[in-house]
Amino acid sequence: MSGAATPTVVRRQLGRRLRLLREAAGVSVESVVADRRLGISRAKLYKLEAGKHPAKPQDVAALCRHYRASNEEIEALTTLALATQGSSWWHIFGEDTVPAWFSLYVDLEPAAASIRSYEAELVPGLLQTPEYALAVYQARNPTDDVNDLRRRVAVRMERQAILDRPTPPAFHAILNEAVLLREVGGPAVMAAQIDKLRGAADRPSTMIDVLPFKAGAHAAMESSFGILDFPDAEEDPSVVYLDSPSSAAYLQQRAELERYTTIFETVRTGTIPLQEYLT
């Protein structure tokens, strides 16, 4: 898996720059929609600015001219539009290996400069062994073909390559103590998983803390969550990720980010390092 920006990341960057360009020009959404020469509906403009789908260079160029952008800006944004085309890296494992609601996270993850994660039930995907991951998938999807499940495991293992890059993201995982006590896959699988966590915790870029049961009530009792931070906060605002068995939420408002950052830091005060917990 390459560390280069995925089409999804480029779409986010392009959408943000288009929105900033429109706002700087003092052009309203209504004005764009009303200009029939542009052929841009309200829904289409929303999807473009939100980075929801690939952008056509001709649409981007037309919007840039409408916003009275410079020739340099038009060239830069139409080039970005070309980069929004194409498929994500995980498609080589099969179109159905990543649920639609999780695909955005999988595309954003390689571009993150830091990843913070609170996990109530499971070892984070970036730290799972293949056997542990397969046991999780089998528990969630007991009637699915094992070969299909193994393809999903392969995607999960490929995601872990970002931690082996020369400049990996700073990864900080907080695990509820239950994560370490639940024997997912049986004693042998869990023992191997604990060993993998030990090794991961020795990496300079990875921090693993444990929230013990004796910590009592805590700020993250409602759900697990992740926070992705990107190298350029202006170009790529941070994202809070929440999921359920069949859906996900991606939160990007400043108040939401501040709320979950506070939760993470508050929970952190009650944790102990993994190495200390395991001794």
Q: Give me the tens of pLDDT residue by residue for the chain, a chain 279 residues long.
A: 555 567 887 888 899 889 999 999 999 999 999 999 999 999 999 999 988 888 999 999 999 999 999 998 999 898 888 878 777 888 889 988 999 889 889 988 988 999 999 999 999 999 999 999 999 999 999 999 999 999 999 999 999 999 999 999 999 999 999 999 999 999 999 999 999 999 999 999 999 999 999 999 999 999 999 999 998 887 778 999 999 888 999 998 899 999 999 999 999 999 999 999 999
CATH superfamily for 7-83 is lambda repressor-like DNA-binding domains (1.10.260.40)
Instruction: Give the model's pLDDT for residue 98.
Output: 92
Domain boundary assignment for the chain: 7-83, 90-278
Instruction: Give the model's pLDDT for residue 25.
Output: 95
Instruction: Give the model's pLDDT for residue 187.
Output: 98
Instruction: Give the model's pLDDT for residue 5.
Output: 62
Entry pTM: 0.81
> Is the CATH number 3.30.870 carried by domain 90-278?
yes
Q: Specify the DSSP element, H or E, that contains 229.
A: strand 225-229
Instruction: Give the model's pLDDT for residue 1.
Output: 58
Instruction: Give the model's pLDDT for residue 80.
Output: 84
**Angle at the Cα of 125 from the Cα atoms of 105 and 244, rounded to 5 degrees:** 60
CB under 8 Å to 222, separation ≥6 — which residues? none
Instruction: Give the model's pLDDT for residue 44.
Output: 94
Instruction: Give the model's pLDDT for residue 104.
Output: 85
Instruction: Give the model's pLDDT for residue 222.
Output: 92
Instruction: Give the model's pLDDT for residue 4.
Output: 54
Task: Locate 4 and state its tokens.
Answer: 């280069």
Instruction: Give the model's pLDDT for residue 10.
Output: 85
Burial of 25 (0-12, 13-18, 19+ CB in 10 A): middle
> Long-range CB contacts (< 8 A, 24+ apart) of 249-253?
250/104, 250/105
Rounded CA gap, 153 and 104, in Å? 18
